[in-house]
Amino acid sequence: MATSKPLQFLASDATASAVRSGLSSTPKRLPSWLFYDEAGSALFEQITTLPEYYLTRTERSIFESFAGEMLEAAGSDLTLVELGAGTASKTCVLVEELLQRQKRALFYPIDVSPSALQEAVNQLGRQFPQLRVNPIVADYTGGVEALNRILGRKLVLYIGSSIGNFEPDESVRMLRRIRRSLRAGDAFLLGADFAKSAKILIPAYDDAEGVTAAFNKNILARLNRELGADFDPDAFRHVALWNRQCSRMEIYLESLCEQRVFLPMLDMDVSFSAGERIHTENSYKYTMDMVEAILRESGFKLEHTWTDRQKWFGVHLARA
- How many C-beta atoms lie closer than 10 Å to residue 251's C-beta? 24
Contact between 212 and ligand AVJ by CB under 6 A: the answer reads yes
Pairing of strands 236-243, 248-255: antiparallel
Which CB atom, from 15 or from 216, has the smaller least distance to ligand AVJ?
A: 216
The residues that bridge with 125 in the sheet, in sequence order, are none
Which CB atom, from 135 or from 191, has the smaller least distance to ligand AVJ?
A: 191
Residue from 161, 181, 255, 298 touching ligand AVJ (CB under 6 A): that is 161
Residue from 40, 109, 135, 160 touching ligand AVJ (CB under 6 A): that is 160
Angle at 247 between CA 318 and CA 31, to 5 degrees: 85
Region near ligand AVJ per CB under 6 A, out of 22-30, 129-137, 154-162, 292-300: 154-162
Query: Rounded distance, CA 135 to CA 119, Å?
Result: 10
Residues in the chain: 320
- Print the binding letters for residues 14-53 with ligand AVJ: x by CB under 6 A, - otherwise: ---------------------------------x------
Which CB atom, from 58 or from 79, has the smaller least distance to ligand AVJ?
A: 58
Which CB atom, from 55 or from 315, has the smaller least distance to ligand AVJ?
A: 55
Q: How many chain residues bind ligand AVJ (CB under 6 A)?
A: 11
What's the closest the beta carbon of residue 215 comes to ligand AVJ, in angstroms? Answer: 6
Which CB atom, from 244 or from 301, has the smaller least distance to ligand AVJ?
A: 244
- Print the binding letters for residues 166-205 with ligand AVJ: x by CB under 6 A, - otherwise: ---------------------------------------x
What's the closest the beta carbon of residue 8 comes to ligand AVJ, in angstroms? Answer: 27
Query: Rounded distance, CA 68 to CA 267, Å?
Result: 55
Q: For residue 92, what are the CA distances in angstroms to 59, 125, 202, 206, 310?
A: 13, 10, 29, 28, 23
What's the closest the beta carbon of residue 205 comes to ligand AVJ, in angstroms? Answer: 5
DSSP 8-state class, residue 188: E
Q: Is 176 exposed, middle or buried (0-12, 13-18, 19+ CB in 10 A)?
A: middle
Query: What ranges make up the beta strands (E) of 24-179?
Result: 28-29, 78-83, 105-111, 131-133, 136-137, 153-158
Name the site residues for ligand AVJ (rule: CB under 6 A): 47, 55, 160-162, 164-165, 205, 212, 281, 283
